[in-house]
Structure 1
Amino acid sequence: MTAGARVTTRCYSPNIELHWSPSATGSEEWGVVSPALGARDWRGIDPLPARLSKGVKGASIPALYHWQRTIAPEWVWCESQAEKAEVMWLDFEGVFTKLWPQPFVICFPPEVSGAVSHTPDFLGATEDGRLALFDVRPADRIDERTRRQLSLTAEVSETLGWPYEVLSGRETTATINLEWLKASRHMRCAPPADALERILIAARDGATRAELLAIAAPQRPERANQWVDHLAWHRMIVFDLHARLENNTIFTAASTKEH
């Protein structure tokens, strides 16, 4: 993981600014927040993390997430386990192919009452280059000061022309299920063609996990665990993520079920 850059946290002008460090040069760049700045090729800029902290006030454990939606898999820095869980969900949802942690600093001029510089948690890019900005804040950690900071960040993101979302946690059982599936998301866990066909045919009208395992690998059904989990992660077969994943969980082929 590339170390965080030393990025200035004060304004050079009377305006709200972004400050970042392109990985190609490592030197700091900045610009006044505007639609033109938001339309820049941020894939080309490829910003280094504006900072890498040791966690929030010692209360969080930092982590790395192995992001695989780029051509070359890479590690995404997460400041806390809450961030890592949200990155996992973004990975699963499959909208973004690139994710930059702490990509820049938003610098607010003194006239913006009560505002301080803010480093958003993630900038995401889709395959066609559309961008979105994310902050991760558990609901119980959003006080009045944080609420104002997030509100100002939303205004900045709107000016840049990017969607902005505050991620405040997902349902616990669904997150646990996703953690389980994540281990089999790699292509090495994909089923061979004949087993894939058997699984998808069996799941057309719904089948339990135990039934799919037996159908996929009749002689050694335990071998098919990773195949079923791989297909579920990639949403080729779907199930109720909010119910505990067990052998009697019903899976349905995605082509026959909205998900």
Structure 2
Amino acid sequence: MNNITHNPEAKSAPSFAPQPDVMASNLYVPDTGVLTPESALPARVQWKKRNDQKTLTSALAGRALLGMDLYTAAPIRTGNRYPQQRNYHGYYWHSAARMQLWHESLLERSILMWLDHSEDIVAIATQPFTILFADGTEHVPDFIALHANNKQVVYDVKPLWRINDNAAEQFRKTKAVCDEVGWTYEVHTELSEPLASNLAWVQMFRHPRFYPGLASVQQLTDALTEPVSLDAIAALLPDLTLGNARAAVYHLVWERILDADLTQPLSNTSLIRKASHAND
């Protein structure tokens, strides 16, 4: 029986932008027009370094924070378990950052998974810092990430049905602080179906052990002059069993070397195409 083994070439493969219509489907855009600036600024930011989690570091929200590497911070809180708890705490293994990331809900895990697949993130921290607003309130954003293009993005995650006036005001204040620092700010809500289910399936093949090798990837991308079914592509890997070949295809979809429409139910007859820059 043939097995797909770990290959260090896996992470040297190119990555590509997600489908634009899918990428924006779960974004909530804070309305900044109603914000009273003095309610947010001046603000302070507090965090713990990953190599010194006993010391709390604090700085005024400003451009200097861009050089503080907060995307490497330790979680400033991890939460407590209690009877009849409704949110699910746990860890998600981020395939690009190569580390376990703490999350405080299944929705956070879902968005971590989506960002892992759709964005070129090189470092990320969860529950990374506390913002102390000028009005005496405070907020812990859910993530901050460093992207491959050096952009730093702060993320909040909240179900759409829970974005009330208080949450909207908090998002507006957080965006004002992010603008002051130079961070991009995004609020993510639920992923649509079947995108969420498809992503949960494909992420199971994200580990490099499913990478079929550079020669096989080149063979597949050269052969894909037009979209074909998943099983037809799997048949182009004769050295692998059908199951292992399908797993390799799913891995390449996760890595965005191959492209599938994740807004439609996935099956063995789903059309797979070469990603737009697969041979760059």
Common fold by TM > 0.5: yes
Aligned-partner Cα distance in 1 for 2:220–2:60: 54
Aligned-partner Cα distance in 2 for 1:230–1:68: 11
- 135-144 or 21-30: which moved more? 21-30
| Residue matched to 1:126 | 147
Displacement of 1:41 in angstroms is 3.0
Kindly tell me: are residues 225 and 162 of structure 1, through their superposed partners in 2, closer, same or farther at Cα, counting changes over 3 Å? same
Kindly tell me: are residues 220 and 19 of structure 1, through their superposed partners in 2, closer, same or farther at Cα, counting changes over 3 Å? closer
Matches within 5 A, 1:138-157: 138-157=159-178
- For structure 1, the residue ranges without an aligned partner over 5 or more in a row are 1-13
Residue of 232, 243, 254 corresponding to 1:222: 243
Preserved contact between residue 76 and residue 129 of structure 2 (Cα < 8 Å) = yes
Kindly tell me: are residues 55 and 79 of structure 1, through their superposed partners in 2, closer, same or farther at Cα, counting changes over 3 Å? farther
Normalising by the residue count of structure 2, what TM-score does the alignment of the two structures yield?
Answer: 0.77
Displacement of 1:171 in angstroms is 1.4
Between 1 and 2, higher relative CO (CA 8 Å, sep ≥ 6) is seen in 2
Preserved contact between residue 54 and residue 61 of structure 1 (Cα < 8 Å) = no
Aligned-partner Cα distance in 1 for 2:214–2:142: 40
Displacement of 1:240 in angstroms is 1.1
Kindly tell me: are residues 208 and 39 of structure 1, through their superposed partners in 2, closer, same or farther at Cα, counting changes over 3 Å? same
| Residue matched to 1:246 | 267
For 1:200, give the aligned amino acid. T
Matched, 1:34 2:62: yes
Matches within 5 A, 1:77-226: 77-109=102-134, 112=135, 116-127=137-148, 129-217=150-238, 220-226=241-247
For 2:140, give the aligned amino acid. T
Preserved contact between residue 20 and residue 29 of structure 1 (Cα < 8 Å) = yes
Give the SS at the match of 1:97.
Answer: strand
Tell me the C-alpha RMSD between the 2 structures: 2.3
Aligned-partner Cα distance in 2 for 1:96–1:197: 24
Give the SS at the match of 1:255.
Answer: coil
Can you list the C-alpha shifts for 1:80-101, whole angstroms capped at 9, x where unaligned?
0000000001100132111101
Higher-strand-fraction structure: 2
Aligned-partner Cα distance in 1 for 2:259–2:149: 26
Preserved contact between residue 132 and residue 139 of structure 2 (Cα < 8 Å) = yes
Count, aligned residues: 236
Aligned-partner Cα distance in 1 for 2:218–2:174: 47
Identity, in percent, stands at: 24
- For structure 2, the residue ranges without an aligned partner over 5 or more in a row are 1-40
- 25-34 or 229-238: which moved more? 25-34
Can you list the C-alpha shifts for 1:183-241, whole angstroms capped at 9, x where unaligned?
11121101134533442233221110121122222773222011111111111111211
Preserved contact between residue 72 and residue 124 of structure 2 (Cα < 8 Å) = no
